[in-house]
Amino acid sequence: MAYTWDVFLLAAFFGFAYGFLLQKADFCFVASIRDWISVRDTRILNGVLVLIAVALIGWAVVLATGARTVADVWTVPLGGANLLGGILFGIGMTIAGGCGSGTLYRCGMGYVQFWIVLACSIAGNLLFALLYDPWGRDALEPLTVVESGYTLYSLPVPVYAIPVAIVLMMAAIAIWRFGFRGFAAGFRSALTDWEGNPFKQSHWDIRLVAALIGIVATVQFALMSNVSITGPETRIGAVAVSLFAGDDFVFNNTYLNALFADFPKIGLGPEETLVFFLIIGSLAAALLSGSFKLRWPKKSRLPYAIIGGLLMGVSSRIAPGCNIANVITGIGGLSISSVIVLVGMIIGIFIVVAFVFKMPLLLFRRDDSFGA
């Protein structure tokens, strides 16, 4: 399939929008879970839940209007690899300090640490591809339960039934927790959190940003593709290596070859363009608000960046997919494997918070004491 320039333009627009929005809210998927279990701060988790709710409704609308069909929904083989990949990705992103999307937008903000994480993550992608051919495939094969994956949209109920039911349930829980007034006040404060020029403001309300990201992802699903990050990153890595090693590097590897199956040649496509423009969008947002700064990490943190990045790279191929693909397109598409990946990620985050960083675990503590 040959791509035309308008698809690249569209991809650049979507990437720019994601990067801009993610930076504006410091949208961090690691923090959404980490801060909740560690210090019971649910500010970012609420943002992720809003994103999930908007994606669910968005996908339902796209499918109900017939702009896309259930066959276009992103599904991957269902099985143990989802859980294994999810756990390893959760460990990797918490050690590295940023998830698939967090790493990219922080690259745009000038964090040198995340440039290293990104490079190591892409190296991890390629490492997986090199291991896949001789024995990785055989090792992961027995874990597969359903080869074709499964989305709840395949059930014989109206397409809007399940997503609407889930979102109503989420709204009911929110109202039960905050009360009707609190729920309404949340909407109001999300929409009115402005101090002068929004573009110069360094922080936008995370719930508003989450809703906007969900809408952008929905439009992307309707017009172009399912948003993903780590698949395109693997291709970027493969293209980079093929510049030195020749295209045979890709053709001789089963895994990479399959990744480029739809491509006219070994090169960068629209989704890779999206990833580059995500970084540019974040850079633009950071420059506007004065948040851009070249930030050099302490030497002692480099092992975290390298190990975390490599782990994310390998595990995002096992799962497959990173937080963005699984939270937005996976949950939005009601894909069962994504639910398993996310459970794995939460387990992974918990393992690192509790045993590597040894942070407080207030979520599990009933008394007010603080120590140890």
User: Which CB atom, from 202 or from 257, has the smaller least distance to other proteins?
Assistant: 202
CB 42 → other proteins: shortest distance, Å?
Answer: 9
Q: How far is the CB of 221 from other proteins (least distance, A)?
A: 29
Backbone torsions φ then ψ of 144, nearest 5 degrees: -75, 130
Closest to other proteins by CB, 38 or 273:
38
Task: Indicate the residue among 68 and 301 with the shorter CB distance to other proteins.
Answer: 301
> CA 120 to CA 96: how far, in whole Å?
10
Nearer to other proteins, 209 or 236 (CB): 209
- Select 158 or 303, whichever has its Cβ closest to other proteins: 303
256 touches 250 (CB < 8 A): yes
Specify the residue, 216 or 349, whose C-beta has the smaller distance to other proteins. 349
CB of 266 to other proteins, least distance (A): 34
Closest to other proteins by CB, 29 or 276: 29
**Residue number, 102 or 270, with CB nearest to other proteins:** 102
Contact 78, 337 (CB under 8 A): yes
What residues line the site for other proteins (CB under 8 A)?
26, 28, 30-31, 34-35, 38-41, 43, 94, 97-98, 106, 111, 113, 202-203, 290-291, 293, 295-298, 301, 353, 357, 359-360, 362, 368, 370-371
Identity of the residue, 97 or 330, whose beta carbon is nearer to other proteins in the bound complex: 97
What is the smallest separation between the CB atom of 342 and other proteins, expressed in angstroms? 20
Nearest approach, Cβ of 223 to other proteins (angstroms)? 32
**What six digits make up the tokens of 89?**
């990705």
Instruction: Identify the CA nearest to 234 among candidates 297, 143, 319, 342.
Output: 319
Comparing CB distances to other proteins, the nearer of 80 and 297 is: 297
The distance of closest approach from Cβ of residue 227 to other proteins in the complex, given in angstroms and rounded to an integer, is: 23
Least Å from the CB of residue 181 to other proteins:
22
**Least distance in angstroms from the C-beta of 31 to other proteins:** 6
- Taking residue 363's Cβ as centre, other Cβ atoms within 10 Å add up to 13
User: Before 320, cis peptide (omega within 30)?
Assistant: yes
3-state secondary structure the chain: CCCCHHHHHHHHHHHHHHHHHHHHHCCCHHHHHHHHHHHCCCHHHHHHHHHHHHHHHHHHHHHHCCCCCHHHCCCCCEEHHHHHHHHHHHHHHHHHCCCHHHHHHHHHHCEHHHHHHHHHHHHHHHHHHHHHHHHHHHHHHHHEEECCCCEHHHCCCCCCHHHHHHHHHHHHHHHHHHHHHHHHHHHHHHHCCCCCCCCCCCCCCHHHHHHHHHHHHHHHHHHCCCCCCHHHHHHHHHHHHHHHHCCHHHHCCHHHHHHCCCCCCCCCCHHHHHHHHHHHHHHHHHHHHCCCCCECCCHHHHHHHHHHHHHHHHHHHHCCCCHHHHHHHHHHCCEHHHHHHHHHHHHHHHHHHHHHCCCCCHHHCCCCCCCC
